[in-house]
Amino acid sequence: MKLELRGITKKFGDFVANDSIDMVVEPGEIHAILGENGAGKSTLMNVLYGLYTPDGGEIVLDEQPVTFSGPGEAMAAGIGMVHQHFMLVPVFTVAENIVLGQERLRGPGLLDLDAARSLVRETAASLGFDLDPDARIEDLSVGAQQRVEIVKALSRQAEVLILDEPTAVLTPQETDELIQIMGRLKDAGTSIIFITHKLREVRAVADAITIIRLGKVVGSADPSATETELASLMVGRSVNLGVDKQPAQPSGTALSVRGLTVLDPNGVEVVKDVSLDVRRGEIVALAGVQGNGQTELTEAILGVGPSHAGVIELDGTDISRLGVRARLDSGLGFVPEDRTTSGIVADLSITENLVLDLVGTSPYSSFGSLNVNFLRENARHRVEEFDVRTTSIDRPVGTLSGGNQQKVVLARELSRDLTLLVASQPTRGLDVGSIEFVHKRIVAERDRGAGVLIVSTELDEVLALADRIAVMCGGLLVGVVDGGEDRDVLGLMMAGVPVHEARAQAADHHTVLGEADLDVDPATAVEPVPHPVQDQEEGR
Amino acid sequence: MTQDEGSRRPDAVEDAPTADRPTGEVGAPDQQPPSTSNALREALQSMMSSSVLVTVGAVVLALVIGSVLILVGDTAVQSTLGYLFQRPGDFFREAGRAISDSYVALFQGAIYDSEATTAERRVRPLTETLTIAVPLIFAGLGIGLTFRVGLFNIGGQSQLVLGAILGAWVGFALDMPPVVHIVVVLFAAALGGAIAGAIPGVLKARFGAHEVITTIMLNNTSRYFLLWVLGTGAFLSATPQVSPGLAETARLPLLLGGSFRLHLGFVLVLLTAFAVWWLMERSVLGFQMRAVGVNPEAARTAGMSVRKITVLAMALAGTLCGLAGAMQVAGTEGRLTGSVYGSIGFDAITVALLGRSRPLGTVLAGILFGALAAGGRIMSSRAGTEAELVTVLQAVIVLLIAAPPLVRSVFRLPAPGGPRTRAKEVAA
Ligand SMILES: Nc1ncnc2c1ncn2[C@@H]1O[C@H](COP(=O)(O)OP(=O)(O)OP(=O)(O)O)[C@@H](O)[C@H]1O
Ligand SMILES: [Mg+2]
C-alpha cells in the first residue's frame, strides 16, 4: 500500500507541532523519520494513526484520500502502530490481548481463543520467531512484548506499520532481532515507518529517510549518507559524535562500595558481593547486558532498592543506613533508568518537576512555603540551558516529547553541587545533538570534581565517556578495565569471561566492529558501520 | 486505544525487564509501603481529571434520568398512559407538568421560594442550602485531599464521628469564656478527626493495610463507639441517646440572626477551602503530597518519604472531617446524637469526586449537594415527588463520573483515547 501525507499540519494551541508535512511511503519500504527531540515525529504518527485530528492536509492511501476519526478506523484502513509505551493488558495472555477489540475473532458472545492462538503462532512463525500464545504479558521481556504488539498490529492486516522509537528500550540483541523482523516484513510487502535516534540503525535498515526539524520536513537523505551528515541535517549544525575530553585527573574517593549484596523479593542475589570505587574527577561506566544487576546496584546506592548487605561510602561517610533524602543531601545526584516510572511526575508541571528532589531546601522554599517566583526563575534557566523544547514552563511534563522529558530529569540532577552523579541510561531517547550536550555536561561535572557513575547498555556511550569501565554479569563484577578497552574484550566480559581470558580470546578473533576501533581514532569510532546487526552478535 | 498513564507505573508493561525489581518489601531504609493497588490510584487520577464538561454533563444527565423517575412515580402521568394512543397530548401535558412541578419545587426549596409570603421566607431556602453544605464541604475537602495523594479514604464518617464526640464533650462539659470555648471545641474536633484519620494512615504506612478496608471498618467501629459513648455517664442527659446540649459559648454564632440556621461555619469553611488550596498548591508539603499522589515511585526516588506523607495526608483529612463533625454539634444540632453523622461521610466522597478534589470545585459541589438536600424536602411536600429522588440524582452523578475509570481499573483495561491520554501518548 502506498501512503502519502500531503501538507499535514497539527497545532497545539498556537504551537505548530507539524507544519504542512509532505511524505511518501512506497509499498514495502522502510522509511525512517529522523528529527530532534520535539521535532514532531510522534505527533505526526499520532495524526496518521487517527489519535489526533490534523488541522490541515490529507492522508492518501493508494491515491484515495482518507480521514480517520480514531485508531479503529486507521487500523481498518491497514495502518498499525507500535507505541513506545505498549498498550497490552498485563494480566492477559498473548492470545487474549490479540483478541481484544477484534470482532473478527469473536464467536456469538464468545471469544474464539483457539483462532487467536493459531493466529499468533502463524504470524509469529511467518516473521521467524516463537511466541507462546498462552504466556502472560507481564511475564514477558520488553522485546517479547514488542513482538506481541507487532503481531497484534499485523493480525489486523496492517500494511503500514509505524514503529515509534522501538529500539529505545531494547537490548542490543533484541534490537538485532527486531531489525531482522523488519526485514522479513518488508520482504512480505509491508511498509514500515521507523522512528529512532540511533543513526546506525537507520543506516542499517532504512530505504528512505525523511528529516523533520521544528515541525517541518527539511529534507530527505540517502541511507548511504554518513552518520555525521545525517546528524547535521537533523540538528541543523555539525554535531560531534564523539566526546572531547581530557584525561581524567582523579582525586579522592567519591564512592566506595564494599561487599554489596542485594536480594530480590524472592531472596535471589541479584548483586553479589560487589566492591567498586569511583573517584572524584573520573567517570566510571557500568557496562553489561540489561538485567545483570546494574539497576539494583544503583538503587542500592540511592537507598530505594531492596535490602542489602555491605557498605556504601560517599566521600568517606557510610551512607548505607541513611534514607534517600539524607543521601541526596550528602551530594548524590541520581538519574533513574526509567524516567516515566521514577524520574518524573507526569501531571506536575515542568517547573515542579525541575525541583522534585530539591523542593524542601532553600532557596526553593522557605518555612514550608514554595518560593513560586524563584521556582519559575529556576525553570526558565534550566529550560534554556538544557534546550527543553516547550511552549511554557507550566505545562505538565507528561506532555513533553520523550527526549525533552529526559532533559528535564538531567537538568534537575545537574543543577546542584554533587559529590557523585549516578546516571542510568542518561541519554535514552535523546537526539544526537542533545546527547552531545549531555555528554559535555557530564564531562564538565567530572572536571568540576564530582565522581560519575554511568550505567549504559550502549557500548558506544560507554566507550565515549568512561575513564574506567566496570563490567557486570549475573550480579557479579566481572572486572574493571580502562576506558579505552577493546570492544571485543568488553563484549566477552559482558558474557562473564574474566579480563585476562577475554583479552586472550579477543586477540585470536576480532570482529568487524572491534577492528574498526583499532583502525580509527576513538573520537570518530562511532562513524559508519556497515552491518551493525551482525557486529553486535559477534561482539557477544 | 492509547496507553493509560497508570500503566507506566512500576508494575507496568514496559517495565518488564526490571519487573522483578521489588517495590514494596520491608527491610531497606525508606521503603514504600506496599502500594495501593496501582489500578485504584489510576482510577482516582482519571476521576480527578475528568473535565468540567463531563461534570456538568453528569449533572444534566442525572436530571434527565430523574425526570424519567418522576414520570414513573406520578399517578396522573400513569393514568394518561392508559389511553396514550388515543390522546398522546394528554400524556405529554401531564408529563411536562409533573417534571416541571418537581423541579420547580426543588428549586424553590433550594434557592428562592417564590411562593413564600415574607421576604425572610423567600430567601431562607438559600441559607438552608448553604447550612447543609458546610459540613459536606469540610468533609469533602478532607476526602479530596486524600484523593490527591492517591489514597482512597472512605473513612470520612469515622473521622467526623470522633471529631463530633470530642468537640461535643468539650462543648458541654467544660466551662470557658465565650470566644475561647468555641475555638477549643473546634480544636478538639479537629484532633478527634486527626486521630481517626491517622490510624488507617499508620496501618497503611507500617503494615501496608489497604486504606479502603481499614477506613470502612473504622466507619462501623465509630458508629458503635458513638452509641456506646452516648450511654456512658459523661454523656448522659435527660433524653436517652442524646448528649447534654453544648454551652452557648461553645456554639457557632448565627450569621443572619435567629430566624436562619446559617452559622459562622460557612465563613470558616470558605477560609478553610482557601487554606487547603494554599497547602496543596503553594506549600512544600502539598507539593510532596501531589507528587506522591501521581507517581509514588518517582516521589520516593526524589527522596520523599511516602510513608510519612501517607500518614500526614490521612491525619489532615481527618482534621477536616473532624471539623465537619464540629459543624454538626456546635452548629446545627447543638448536641451529640446517635445519628449526628447522617450521610455526610459518604456524600463527602461524592462531593470530592464531583469537585475533582480541588477546593473550589468541592465548595461548589458541596453547595450543589446542599441544594439538592434542601430542595428535596420541599419537593416531596409540594410536588409529592419522593425525596429519595435526590438520592438517586446524587447516585447517578457519581456513577457517571466514577464508574468508567473504576470499571477500567478493575479489568485493567487501557483508557480510551481521551484528549488527556492522547496528550501523554506523544511522550513516546
Ligand atoms: N498535547 C500537547 N500539547 C501541547 N504541546 C504538545 C502536545 N503534545 C506534543 N506537544 C509538543 O509538540 C512538539 C512535538 O512533540 P513530539 O512528541 O511529536 O516530538 P518528537 O519528535 O516525537 O520528539 P522525541 O524524539 O523527543 O520523542 C513538542 O514540542 C511537544 O512539546
Ligand atoms: Mg517521540
CATH for A280: 3.40.50.300
Q: Is the dihedral of CA B97, B102, B103, B105 positive or negative?
A: positive
Total CB pairs under 8 A between chain A and B: 214
Q: Which pLDDT score, from 0 to 100, does residue A110 have?
A: 64
Please report residues of B whose CB lies closer than 8 A to that of A338. Answer: 15, 18
- Ligand 1: atom nearest CA of A41 is 21
Q: Look at residue B261 and give its three-state secondary structure.
A: coil
Q: Are B102 and B110 spatial neighbours (Cβ–Cβ below 8 Å)?
A: no
CA angle A344, A137, A118 (to 5 degrees): 145
- Residue A49 CB neighbour total at 10 angstroms: 25
Residues near B405 by beta carbon (within 8 Å), at least 6 away in sequence:
B42, B43, B44, B45, B46, B47, B415
Q: Are B108 and B115 spatial neighbours (Cβ–Cβ below 8 Å)?
A: yes
Residues near B361 by beta carbon (within 8 Å), at least 6 away in sequence:
B55, B354, B355
Helices (H), A194-278: 199-205, 227-235
Q: What's the B427 CA to ligand 2 centre distance in angstroms?
A: 6
Query: Is there a single domain that holds both residue A165 and residue A249?
Result: no
CB–CB contact B282 A369 (8 Å): yes
CB–CB contact B425 A370 (8 Å): no
- The order of strands in the sheet holding A317-318 is A269-279, A253-263, A308-314, A317-318
Query: Is there a single domain that holds both residue A76 and residue A181?
Result: yes
Residue A332 lies in a domain: no
C-alpha cell of residue A85 = 509505551
> For the segment B360-419, what is each residue's pLDDT rounded down to a tens digit?
999 999 999 999 999 988 888 888 888 888 888 888 888 887 776 666 666 555 554 433
Q: What's the A429 CA to ligand 1 centre distance in angstroms?
A: 13
Name which residue sits closest to atom 20 of ligand 1, judged by CA. Answer: A38
Residue with cell 507541532: A17
Domain encompassing residue A10: 3-235
C-alpha B336/C-alpha B245 separation (Å) is 8
Residue with cell 517566583: A373
- Residue A83 CB neighbour total at 10 angstroms: 24
Residue A435 lies in a domain: no
Name which residue sits closest to atom 17 of ligand 1, judged by CA. Answer: A401
Residues near B220 by beta carbon (within 8 Å), at least 6 away in sequence:
none
C-alpha A213/C-alpha A35 separation (Å) is 6
User: Ligand 1 within 6 A of A50 CB?
Assistant: no
Nearest CA in chain B to A358: B302
User: Ligand 1 within 6 A of A389 CB?
Assistant: yes
> For the segment B187-197, what is each residue's pLDDT rounded down to a tens digit?
999 999 999 99
| Residue that is last in its domain, among A208, A235, A262 | A235
Q: What's the A165 CA to ligand 2 centre distance in angstroms?
A: 7
Query: Is there a single domain that holds both residue A169 and residue A253?
Result: no
Nearest CA in chain A to B19: A138
C-alpha B367/C-alpha B269 separation (Å) is 12
CATH top class, domain B38-413:
mainly alpha
User: Ligand 1 within 6 A of A35 CB?
Assistant: yes
Query: Is there a single domain that holds both residue A135 and residue A264?
Result: no
Report in angstroms the alpha-carbon separations of A426 from A430, A438, B40, B201.
9, 8, 31, 36
Residue A356 lies in a domain: no
C-alpha cell of residue A148 = 506481541
Nearest CA in chain B to A171: B17
Q: Best of A96, A197, A304 to disrupt the B interface by mutation (most B CBs within 10 Å)?
A: A304
Give residue limits of the domains in chain B: 38-413
Q: Is the dihedral of CA B58, B63, B68, B73 positive or negative?
A: positive
Query: Is there a single domain that holds both residue A275 and residue A214?
Result: no
Calculate how close chain A gets to B420, using CA atoms only, in Å: 9
From the CA of A405, the nearest ligand is 1
- Ligand 1: atom nearest CA of A406 is 26
CB–CB contact A90 B424 (8 Å): no
CB–CB contact B302 A164 (8 Å): no
Q: Which of B87, B56, B46, B73 is nearest to B390 (CA)?
A: B73
The secondary structure element, H or E, covering residue B144 is helix B119-148
Whether residue B50 is predicted with pLDDT greater than 90 in this model: the reply is: no
Q: Look at residue B328 and give its three-state secondary structure.
A: helix
Q: Which pLDDT score, from 0 to 100, does residue B407 have?
A: 62
- Ligand 1: atom nearest CA of A84 is 27
Nearest CA in chain B to A401: B427
b/e map B52-86, b = 16+ CB within 10 Å: eebbeebbeebeebbbebbbebbeebeebeeeeee
CA angle A27, A32, A34 (to 5 degrees): 150
Query: Is there a single domain that holds both residue A225 and residue A265?
Result: no
Rg of chain A (C-alpha set)? 24
User: Ligand 1 within 6 A of A209 CB?
Assistant: no
Whether residue B32 is predicted with pLDDT greater than 60 in this model: the reply is: no
Which amino acid type is present at position B204? Answer: K
> For the segment B239-287, what is each residue's pLDDT rounded down to a tens digit?
888 999 999 999 999 999 888 999 999 999 999 999 999 999 999 999 9
Name which residue sits closest to atom 22 of ligand 1, judged by CA. Answer: A42
Query: Is there a single domain that holds both residue A44 and residue A108?
Result: yes
Q: Which pLDDT score, from 0 to 100, does residue B232 have?
A: 92
User: Ligand 1 within 6 A of A390 CB?
Assistant: yes
User: Ligand 1 within 6 A of A403 CB?
Assistant: yes
Calculate how close chain B gets to A504, using CA atoms only, in Å: 32
Query: Is there a single domain that holds both residue A487 and residue A535?
Result: yes
User: Ligand 1 within 6 A of A43 CB?
Assistant: yes
Q: Is the dihedral of CA B134, B137, B140, B144 positive or negative?
A: negative
Please report residues of A whose CB lies closer than 8 A to that of B11. Answer: 90, 138
Query: Is there a single domain that holds both residue A145 and residue A268?
Result: no
Q: What is the dihedral of CA A353, A358, A360, A365, to 10 degrees?
A: -80
Q: Is the dihedral of CA A161, A166, A170, A173 positive or negative?
A: positive
* Partner-chain residue, chosen from A325, A338, A369, that has the shortest CB–CB distance to B15: A338
Q: What's the A185 CA to ligand 1 centre distance in angstroms?
A: 29
Q: What's the A461 CA to ligand 1 centre distance in angstroms?
A: 26
Query: Is there a single domain that holds both residue A61 and residue A201?
Result: yes
Query: Is there a single domain that holds both residue A166 and residue A284?
Result: no
Residue with cell 470558605: B270
Query: Is there a single domain that holds both residue A102 and residue A132?
Result: yes
- Ligand 1: atom nearest CA of A43 is 18
Q: Are strands A30-35 and A191-195 parallel, antiparallel or unpaired?
A: parallel
Q: What's the A238 CA to ligand 2 centre distance in angstroms?
A: 22
Q: Which of B143, B30, B101, B182 is nearest to B385 (CA)?
A: B101
Q: Which pLDDT score, from 0 to 100, does residue B408 have?
A: 60
Q: Which pLDDT score, from 0 to 100, does residue A528 have?
A: 38
A314 compared with B42, residue with greater pLDDT = A314
Q: Is the dihedral of CA A340, A346, A352, A358 positive or negative?
A: negative
Please report residues of A whose CB lies closer than 8 A to that of B417. Answer: 51, 70-71
> For the segment B300-351, what is each residue's pLDDT rounded down to a tens digit?
999 999 999 999 999 999 999 999 999 999 999 999 999 999 999 999 999 9
> For the segment B122-141, what is each residue's pLDDT rounded down to a tens digit?
999 999 999 999 999 999 99
- Residue A301 CB neighbour total at 10 angstroms: 25
| Residue that is last in its domain, among A186, A206, A235 | A235
Q: What's the B353 CA to ligand 1 centre distance in angstroms?
A: 31
Nearest CA in chain A to B417: A51
- List beta partners, residue A23: A5
Residue A250 C-beta-side C-alpha neighbours within 13 Å: 17
Helices (H), A188-226: 199-205
CB–CB contact B282 A87 (8 Å): no
Provide the CA A188 distance to its chain's centre, in angstroms.
28
Nearest CA in chain B to A405: B427
Q: Which pLDDT score, from 0 to 100, does residue A90 have?
A: 79
CB–CB contact A402 B298 (8 Å): no
C-alpha A364/C-alpha B284 separation (Å) is 9
Mean pLDDT by 10 residues, chain A (540 residues): 94 92 94 93 94 93 92 90 80 84 60 81 85 86 83 86 87 82 91 92 92 92 89 85 85 94 87 95 91 90 83 92 93 92 93 94 92 95 94 92 92 93 92 91 94 90 93 93 88 90 81 50 39 37
Structural domain total, chain A: 2
Q: What's the A32 CA to ligand 2 centre distance in angstroms?
A: 13
* Partner-chain residue, chosen from A90, A329, A370, that has the shortest CB–CB distance to B12: A90
User: Ligand 1 within 6 A of A406 CB?
Assistant: no
| Residue that is last in its domain, among A193, A220, A235 | A235
Residue A261 lies in a domain: yes
* Partner-chain residue, chosen from A264, A356, A359, that has the shortest CB–CB distance to B22: A264
